[in-house]
């Protein structure tokens, strides 16, 4: 499916911070049907998958185009610390995020993106979804797909993940949140810096 990633309509799943089964039992039911599609051509996961079944599920979605990095709670896994891939005109990097001090610091994330040589840096760890355009880099956090509490013990985490579509120099990000058992979707459009 690698060739179809550059076509609009083939989606990249941005997901992570499952913490299954240690902090949460499973992803929300309303997300399961959305993830059961042949429209996803690549998976980029910020780590903390928790269970082999989750890793297998992610690999089942995208096969070899599944990029998973090591989270701070992935004790039984040997994923890489970082991963960089090309998606259309964009170089996309992924880290878990616990390596960034202070956690979630946008300047430090932008520097990390620069060191990796990427246009888009996907990171997790905070369990809160965000999209930031800083210093010519896009910093994207898909949040926690299960809504697991984060390392700071914050339990009011809204489950979320993102789908990314890239066409030319444009990125469309769809953020999915679980609110009261229902899926809420928002969309953001980003343009590559020249």
The pLDDT value recorded for residue 73 is 93
d(CA 179, CA 68): 26
Radius of gyration of the chain (CA): 15
| 42 Cβ neighbours under 8 A, 6+ residues apart | 1, 2, 5, 10, 11, 12, 13, 62, 65, 66, 67, 85, 87
The torsion angle over the Cα atoms of residues 16, 18, 23 and 24, rounded to 10 degrees, is 140
- pLDDT tens track for 9-22: 569 999 999 999 98
Q: Can you say how many angstroms the Cα of residue 168 is from the centroid of all Cα atoms in its chain?
A: 21
- pLDDT tens track for 140-187: 999 999 999 888 888 889 999 999 998 888 999 999 999 999 999 999
- End-to-end Cα distance, the chain: 28
Q: Where are the alpha helices (DSSP H) in the chain?
A: 29-35, 52-62, 106-116
CA dihedral over 68, 74, 80, 83, signed as positive or negative:
positive
Q: What is the mean pLDDT of the chain?
A: 91
Q: What percent of the chain has pLDDT over 70?
A: 95
**This prediction's pTM:** 0.92
Q: Are 20 and 49 in contact (CB under 8 A)?
A: yes
The pLDDT value recorded for residue 185 is 97
């Amino acid at each position: 499916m690698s060739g179809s990633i550059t076509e609009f309509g083939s989606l990249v799943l941005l997901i992570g911070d499952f913490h299954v089964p240690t902090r949460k039992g499973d992803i929300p039911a309303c997300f399961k049907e959305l993830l059961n599609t042949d429209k996803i051509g690549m998976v980029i996961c910020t780590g903390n998958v928790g269970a082999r079944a989750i890793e297998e599920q992610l690999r089942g979605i995208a096969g070899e185009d599944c990029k998973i990095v090591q989270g701070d709670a992935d004790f039984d896994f040997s994923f890489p610390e970082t991963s960089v891939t090309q998606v259309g005109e964009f170089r996309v990097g992924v880290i878990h995020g616990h390596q960034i001090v202070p956690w979630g610091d946008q300047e430090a994330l932008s520097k990390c993106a620069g060191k990796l040589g990427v246009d888009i840096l996907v990171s997790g760890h905070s369990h809160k979804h965000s999209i930031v355009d800083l210093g010519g880099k896009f910093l994207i956090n898909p949040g926690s797909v299960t809504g697991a509490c984060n390392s700071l013990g914050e339990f009011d985490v809204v489950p979320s993940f993102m789908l990314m579509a890239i066409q030319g120099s444009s990125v469309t990000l769809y953020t999915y949140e679980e609110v009261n058992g229902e899926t809420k979707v928002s969309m953001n459009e980003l343009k590559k810096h020249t």
